[in-house]
């Protein structure tokens, strides 16, 4: 499987996936193409041998078709967490539709699509409903499709435990909406490995696999783990629903990507845990790593980006 197109390959999961694909195919004849709207921001991908980072608009049919030509498989990781109905529809539904059409035009059949646990046409959030619609579009397209549905994903560079660790390094308490929401967090390396195994294993065609870690936690427990591992454990104060919504509404008004939106709160009304109705990572021979084993490696004192602090200090960049 030497030619793989990775849509969304510059992101959190994509970067780890690209590394794993390079390792797996051992460089050589493999060609991993990663389109990006802003390739200049994705230097970490460009350094990998056999990875081609290209500037492209994947919402443009002609460009998407050109990207797919000559590929053996495509992985779709493009998604957004916040946005209007229109934005969710464009990224989670129209893009899979365009992808299916471009696959038909180029004869590319193998697609691995990353969705999310809890997707459903009747789900309470726009994120989950639009992701469900995107899955349905691809499933109806007659492709050689495998769908992965992860719970929340942790690992170096995540916007989850890392964010909670950072907040606790700044504020004396954490006022938390949906403190009892449940998750079964999965390590980014395990998700990336699952994608690689799916690409290799044609018996996964037609399957939807759930990607979960070994343990279920509430959001409050996860915030405490992030605080403990980063050395800034603060008290967590669960907010009543109305106050949580007000907090999210205020965050949506701040410039830039919101830390939390009301749609995120709606998503958390569905437990992001294995349903037991679908195969999991064991189906791919993967024993998922626990948060306890991995989080200290990137949240701990002097870990993560802070690893380079003494070098930065030496060149006066701190
Ligand atoms: N992270 C999690 O905890 C989690 C949990 C469950 C499911 N998932 C799913 O896993 C997949 C990967 O997630 P991730 O966390 O790696 O996402 P991510 O870091 O946000 O990366 C997504 C990539 O998609 C591209 N992208 C974003 N918005 C786009 C747009 N409007 N048009 C075109 N391209 C766009 C971006 O590439 P450029 O900026 O380079 O163009 C970005 O690098 C997604 O399907 C997500 O729903 C993630």
Query: Tens digits of per-residue pLDDT, 18-41?
Result: 999 999 987 667 899 999 999 999
Q: To the nearest whole number, what is the mean pLDDT of the chain?
A: 94
Tell whether ligand 1 has an atom less than 6 A from the beta carbon of residue 134.
no
Tell whether ligand 1 has an atom less than 6 A from the beta carbon of residue 91.
yes
Least confident of 251-260, 272-281, 286-295: 251-260
In tens, the pLDDT along 61-116 reads 999 999 999 999 999 999 999 999 999 999 999 999 999 999 999 999 999 999 99
Span 257-270, average pLDDT: 96
Tell whether ligand 1 has an atom less than 6 A from the beta carbon of residue 42.
yes
Q: Is residue 173 classed exposed, middle or buried when 0-12, 13-18 and 19+ CB atoms within 10 A define those classes?
A: exposed
Residue nearest to atom 40 of ligand 1 (CA): 36
14, 78, 194, 210, best to mutate for ligand 1 pocket (most atoms within 8 Å of CB): 78
Q: Which residue has the tokens 């409903």?
A: 129
Query: At residue 268, does pLDDT exceed 70?
Result: yes
Tell whether ligand 1 has an atom less than 6 A from the beta carbon of residue 153.
yes
How many C-beta atoms lie closer than 10 Å to residue 318's C-beta? 10
pLDDT of residue 193: 98
pLDDT of residue 318: 47
Closest ligand 1 atom to 78 CA = 24
Calpha distance 200→284 (Å, rounded): 10
Query: At residue 166, does pLDDT exceed 90?
Result: yes
CA of 311 to the centre of ligand 1 (A): 31
CA of 6 to the centre of ligand 1 (A): 11
In tens, the pLDDT along 213-255 reads 999 999 999 999 999 999 999 999 999 999 999 999 999 999 9
In the chain, DSSP assigns E strands to: 3-7, 31-36, 51-55, 73-76, 110-114, 144-150, 153-154, 174-176, 182-183, 186-187, 208-211, 217-218, 236-238
Closest ligand 1 atom to 154 CA = 3
Query: At residue 2, does pLDDT exceed 60?
Result: yes
């Amino acid at each position: 499987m030497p030619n793989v197109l990775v849509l969304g390959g510059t992101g959190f999961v994509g970067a780890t996936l690209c590394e794993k694909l390079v390792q797996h195919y051992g460089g050589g004849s493999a060609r991993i193409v990663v389109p990006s709207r802003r390739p200049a921001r994705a230097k970490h991908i460009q350094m990998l041998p056999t990875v081609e980072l290209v500037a492209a608009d994947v919402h443009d049919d002609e460009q998407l078709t050109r990207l797919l030509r000559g590929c053996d498989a495509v992985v779709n990781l493009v998604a957004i967490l916040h946005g209007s109905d229109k934005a969710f529809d464009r990224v989670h539904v129209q893009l899979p539709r365009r992808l299916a059409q471009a696959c038909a035009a180029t004869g590319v059949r193998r697609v691995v699509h990353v969705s999310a646990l809890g997707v459903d046409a009747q789900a309470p959030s726009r994120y989950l409903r639009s992701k469900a619609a995107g899955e349905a579009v691809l499933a109806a397209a007659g492709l050689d499709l495998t769908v992965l549905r992860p719970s929340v994903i942790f690992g170096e560079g995540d916007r989850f435990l890392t964010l909670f660790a950072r907040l606790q390094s700044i504020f004396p308490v954490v006022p938390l909406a949906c403190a009892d929401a449940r998750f079964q967090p999965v390590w980014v390396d395990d998700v990336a490995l699952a994608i690689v195994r799916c690409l290799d294993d044609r018996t996964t065609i037609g399957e939807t696999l759930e990607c979960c870690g070994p343990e279920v936690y509430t959001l409050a427990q996860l915030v405490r783990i992030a605080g403990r591992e980063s050395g800034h454990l603060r008290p967590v104060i669960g907010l009543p629903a109305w106050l949580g919504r007000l907090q999210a509404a205020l965050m949506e008004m701040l410039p830039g990507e919101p830390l939390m939106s009301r749609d995120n709160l709606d998503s958390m009304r569905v437990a992001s845990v294995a349903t037991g109705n679908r195969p999991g990572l064991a189906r791919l021979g993967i024993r998922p790593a626990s948060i306890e084993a991995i989080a200290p490696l990137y949240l701990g004192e002097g870990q993560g980006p802070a690893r380079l602090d003494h070098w930065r200090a030496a060149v006066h960049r701190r």
